Amino acid sequence: MKKFSPEDLEKLSMDKELEAYSHPLRAVIIYLLFGLVWIGFSDRVLLLFAGNMEQYHMMQSIKGWLFIVVSSLILYLVLKSEYKKIFKLTGEVSSKNQELVSFAEELVAMEEELKTKLEALYKTTDLLTSQKQFVEEIFESSNTAIMTWNLHGEVVNVNHYYTELLGYTLEEIKGKKWTEFLIPEGERPKLKTLIDELRENHRVNNFENKVVSKDGTELSMLWNDTLVYDSVEDRFFVVSFGTDLTKQHLQEEQILKMAYMDRMTGLKNRMVFENEISSLISEGHPFTLYYLDIDQFKNLNDIHGHLYGDLFLKMFGEALQKEAPYEHIYRWGGDEFLVVEFGIPDETVIKTLHDIVQRNWALREVQFTPTASIGITRFPEDGTVVQKLLMNADLALHKAKINGKGSVEYFRKQFQVELERVATIEKALGKALEEDQLELYFQPIYNLMTGEVGSVEVLLRWFDEQLNITTGEFIAIAEQTGQIVKVDQWVIKNAFKVISEKFGAAPPCRFSINLSAQSFNSDILLHSLTQLRETYDIRPEDIEFEITEYSVLHNLEETRRTMRALKEKGYNISLDDFGTRYSSLNYLGKLPFDRLKIDKSYVDYILTDSVDRVIVDLLVHMSEKIGLKTVAEGIESEAQYRALKEMGCRYGQGFYLAKPMPLEAVLSLLSKRD
């Protein structure tokens, strides 16, 4: 439909108005002209044609009628034509009107639509405004650091929380490159990676970095960054939401520190040891590992209580930190400490450690003078993994402990094999003791002057086909494991039982029973002897105990007391294996021994080595002079026997004379004597 402008419509109505006025005027003018012509000429024409007046009058009437008819006809035709035009015009007007009405309706509808759209627009604007306010409020009041920045790293905006955190005002930061301005130098390279990743993925989550606040404090931040396109400005910018993890990190650090620090001593703990050693190993850096254990620590705890034990550990830990100039010192647990060193000679480290331990520790009113045993292993010679090195150090320490207080031992490969055998034997020996699988053998000791059996030494035997073990080996192991006290108790009981069963109250000779140092020094010895003696009705004078110098070494005063107690009860005591490990003539006069047993290692050489011969000769003479009878051990030949006899050695024992034998054999030997 054609659309009219208001001007068009006005012009159109004016034209129509003019046209409407011109039509009646035209009809009247035609009528006027026709009337005038008619009046002017009709009478003259009549006069021409009328013959008389009557005719004239009649023609006059006809002319009047004719005028009326013709003018009526003309009027009719003019009016008809005008009406026709009016009708046409009216039709046109009505159709224009129609058009106008629908145009008006259209206008109304358009206005309606416009109104609705306007309302919607207002609503959207309101919504946008409130949303903007909301976003601004969140931005400013949020407890999260929010920062917008462009891909050059320049800050566009920072929220209140973040400016507070940093101590800068917005103006101080805005437009600056935060990637340089706020970031410590070491962290900067990783920001380049951040920007690259943002360009590629438009989002980076959980990005952690450090920022430096205005007062120089380093803060740890965790960011979630999103790359956003700004269509208004046609450029990208980054929105970063950050959480301040500084406090959390500090707490974590503290927890971590606590997890890695030994609370009692303040030294590094075993976890750190394992980590640090692993890195040293992976670096391939040779080192020596020292495993230190306080020797008398158990006594301190047992006698004075754990409080004193803890106090010592604390003081010792402090002393180690202060006085041992080593970076790698750890507390492994209990009274065990580890030191890792390279570069400093072993002897220096050992001396330093011993010097720190071996002093008089004043633990309140308690005085403590400990020693320390040290096991040593080396990387890479002895092992290349932490566990192996630890095991080595432990084995070496174990060996050092066996060697005695304050000992130092280096790891050797056979320790492992030895230790496994010790463990097997320890277990089997416990079982053998319980199930009476041990046996007693007897070796006669002869009076070299008369050739008679003077006494019989009781020797333990363990016939185990699988273990195939000698007495010397399992006795040594029982001494290590502490089982020796039980072993000796078993021997004393079974020896007493045999004597009682076979000889009653009057055995034909003395019986010598070996006592280990631990048994001799144990509290139960005297008590158990009293009980067993009563049970089996044994006369103490028929019994001789053989102890070694090692038993005596422990404490001379205590040894003297125990010996006196034994002697008072009537038992005999001999000093066994004289001339071996701790030989010293010192004890001979000071302690009430009855006999001195010269060790086989001297007897072996009396024929070939003149020095040994002289020593044995002197020993025999000296002993006899102070009232000690001598027994030579391990006589294996007639020549040895004669030589000893010539020297005046009163008693002798050895394979040449008689080998250790089972009960029946010794019984028959003794019965022949009778």
Give the residue carrying structure tokens 């010592």: 312
Q: Which is nearer to ligand C2E, 284 or 472 (CB)?
A: 472
Backbone angles phi, psi at 453, to 5 degrees: -75, 115
Backbone angles phi, psi at 497, to 5 degrees: -65, -45
Contacting residue, 514, 518, 521, 623, with Mg ion by CB under 5 A: 514
CA distances from 197 to 181, 236, 419 (A): 21, 14, 59
Q: How far is the CB of 546 from Mg ion (least distance, A)?
A: 4
Name the residue among 330, 324, 325 with its Cα closest to residue 273: 330
Pattern of binders to Mg ion over 616-635, x per CB under 5 A? -----------------x--
State both tokens at 117.
């759209």
Q: Which is nearer to ligand C2E, 179 or 483 (CB)?
A: 483
Q: How far is the CB of 437 from ligand C2E (least distance, A)?
A: 14
Q: How far is the CB of 656 from ligand C2E (least distance, A)?
A: 6
HSE of 595 in the Cβ direction (CA atoms, 13 Å)? Answer: 28
Pattern of binders to Mg ion over 528-567, x per CB under 5 A? ------------------x---------------------
Q: How far is the CB of 559 from ligand C2E (least distance, A)?
A: 16
When CB distances are held under 5 to 8 angstroms depending on the partner's kind, the choice from ligand C2E, Mg ion, none that residue 471 binds is: ligand C2E
Q: Which is nearer to Mg ion, 499 or 632 (CB)?
A: 632
Supply the angle between the helices 306-323 and 346-357 in degrees, to the nearest 10: 140
Spell 430-444 as b/e; 16+ CB within 10 A means b: eebbeeeebebbbbb
Q: Which is nearer to ligand C2E, 187 or 473 (CB)?
A: 473
Q: How far is the CB of 492 from ligand C2E (least distance, A)?
A: 8
Task: Answer yes or no whether residue 516 interacts with Mg ion by CB under 5 A.
Answer: no
When CB distances are held under 5 to 8 angstroms depending on the partner's kind, the choice from Mg ion, ligand C2E, none that residue 552 binds is: none
Q: Which is nearer to ligand C2E, 240 or 653 (CB)?
A: 653
Q: Which is nearer to Mg ion, 168 or 511 (CB)?
A: 511
Q: Which is nearer to ligand C2E, 154 or 636 (CB)?
A: 636
Q: What is the dihedral of CA 147, 153, 155, 157, to 10 degrees?
A: -40
Give the residue carrying structure tokens 């000429």: 41
Q: Which is nearer to ligand C2E, 161 or 446 (CB)?
A: 446
Partner residues linked to 221 by β-bridges: 209, 244
HSE of 53 in the Cβ direction (CA atoms, 13 Å)? Answer: 0
When CB distances are held under 5 to 8 angstroms depending on the partner's kind, the choice from ligand C2E, Mg ion, none that residue 491 binds is: ligand C2E
Task: Answer yes or no whether residue 576 interacts with Mg ion by CB under 5 A.
Answer: yes
When CB distances are held under 5 to 8 angstroms depending on the partner's kind, the choice from Mg ion, ligand C2E, none that residue 634 binds is: ligand C2E
Q: How far is the CB of 514 from Mg ion (least distance, A)?
A: 4
Q: How far is the CB of 370 from ligand C2E (least distance, A)?
A: 29
When CB distances are held under 5 to 8 angstroms depending on the partner's kind, the choice from ligand C2E, Mg ion, none that residue 538 binds is: none
Give the span between the Cα atoms of 494 and 663, in whole angstroms: 12
Q: Where are the beta strands (DSSP E) in 305-413?
A: 328-333, 336-341, 361-363, 366-368, 372-379, 408-410
Q: Which is nearer to ligand C2E, 453 or 475 (CB)?
A: 475
Q: How far is the CB of 443 from Mg ion (least distance, A)?
A: 9
Backbone angles phi, psi at 230, to 5 degrees: -100, 105
Q: Are 553 and 582 in contact (CB under 8 A)?
A: yes
Instruction: Give the number of other Cβ atoms within 10 Å of residue 304's Cβ.
Output: 17
When CB distances are held under 5 to 8 angstroms depending on the partner's kind, the choice from ligand C2E, Mg ion, none that residue 654 binds is: ligand C2E
When CB distances are held under 5 to 8 angstroms depending on the partner's kind, the choice from Mg ion, ligand C2E, none that residue 660 binds is: ligand C2E
Size of the site for Mg ion (CB under 5 A): 5
Q: Which is nearer to ligand C2E, 382 or 546 (CB)?
A: 546
Q: How far is the CB of 484 from ligand C2E (least distance, A)?
A: 6
Q: How far is the CB of 359 from Mg ion (least distance, A)?
A: 39
Q: Which H or E run contains 487?
A: helix 484-503
Q: How far is the CB of 420 from ligand C2E (least distance, A)?
A: 23
Name the residue among 346, 145, 100, 315 with its Cα closest to residue 240: 145
Q: How far is the CB of 574 from Mg ion (least distance, A)?
A: 8
- Report the Cα–Cα distance between both ends of the chain, in Å, rounded: 160
Which long-range contacts (C-beta less than 8 Å, at least 24 apart) are formed by 206-210? 208/245, 209/183, 210/183, 210/184
| Strand duo 572-578 + 595-598: pairing | parallel
Contacting residue, 331, 577, 595, 598, with Mg ion by CB under 5 A: 577
DSSP 264: T
Instruction: Give the number of other Cβ atoms within 10 Å of residue 391's Cβ.
Output: 18
Which long-range contacts (C-beta less than 8 Å, at least 24 apart) are formed by 11-18? 12/96, 16/89, 16/93
Q: Which is nearer to ligand C2E, 249 or 497 (CB)?
A: 497
Neighbouring residues of 615: CB distance < 8 A, sequence distance ≥ 6:
579, 602
Q: How far is the CB of 470 from ligand C2E (least distance, A)?
A: 6
Q: Which is nearer to ligand C2E, 163 or 483 (CB)?
A: 483
Would you tell me which residues interact with ligand C2E (CB under 6 A)?
Answer: 443, 459-460, 470-472, 475, 488, 491, 514-516, 546, 576-577, 633-636, 653-655, 660
Pattern of binders to Mg ion over 470-509, x per CB under 5 A? ----------------------------------------
Partner residues linked to 341 by β-bridges: 288
State both tokens at 342.
């390279």
Give the residue carrying structure tokens 């502490």: 482
Among the listed ranges 127-135, 486-494, 500-508, 575-583, the one in contact with Mg ion (CB under 5 A) is 575-583
CA distances from 69 to 4, 38, 77 (A): 47, 13, 12
Q: Which is nearer to Mg ion, 341 or 576 (CB)?
A: 576
Q: Which residues of the shown chain bind Mg ion in the complex (CB under 5 A)?
A: 514, 546, 576-577, 633
